[in-house]
Amino acid sequence: MEKENILKTNITTEESEIKKKVMAITKGCLFAIIFSIILLTIYALLLVNTTISENTMMPVVLTITGVSILIGGTISSRKIKKNGLIYGGIVGLVYVLALYLASSIAIVGFSISINSLLMLIVGVITGIIGGIIGVNLSVKK
């Protein structure tokens, strides 16, 4: 009987840990997406209302994406407090996949290009860096 109680307690603890990790990753991804939408809206308004060239689009979009994923990775791994490389990378990967899914739905002639690969690499790397930062911010001295 005692072994059953210990086993049930361990299963419950593992389930709550998994839920905590999934929620932290989800929170990091949602923050990154919302932050990107806000920054991209500001950039679009600047493009329309100023003389900023459209040639700046790719570097600006990559920068906004990178910063958003960096912050999202930091937020998620700060809650988890370990394995920042993994969880930050997951946030970057999920963000980029969500972006490609939305693009393929919204854009008729959407295709994967070298820029897509670059965005995926930037997303995962900045997520990993954000994860490392988040774990180090969560350590109490």
Statement: the pTM of the whole predicted model exceeds 0.85: no
pLDDT surpassing 60 at residue 122: yes
pLDDT surpassing 70 at residue 44: yes
* Higher per-residue pLDDT: 34 or 11: 34
Q: Is the dihedral of CA 126, 132, 133, 138 positive or negative?
A: positive
The pLDDT value recorded for residue 104 is 81
Query: For all residues of the chain together, what is the average pLDDT?
Result: 85
The pLDDT value recorded for residue 4 is 59
Radius of gyration for the chain, computed over Cα atoms and rounded to the nearest angstrom: 19
Stretch among 41-45, 72-76, 117-121, 129-133 having the lowest mean pLDDT: 117-121
Comparing CA positions, the residue from 71, 65, 75 lying closest to residue 97 is 65
The pLDDT value recorded for residue 71 is 94
Residue 116 pLDDT grade (very low, low, confident, very high; cuts 50, 70, 90): confident
Cα–Cα separations (whole angstroms), residue 43 to 30, 48, 92: 20, 9, 21
Rounded CA-CA distance 82/97 in Å is 24
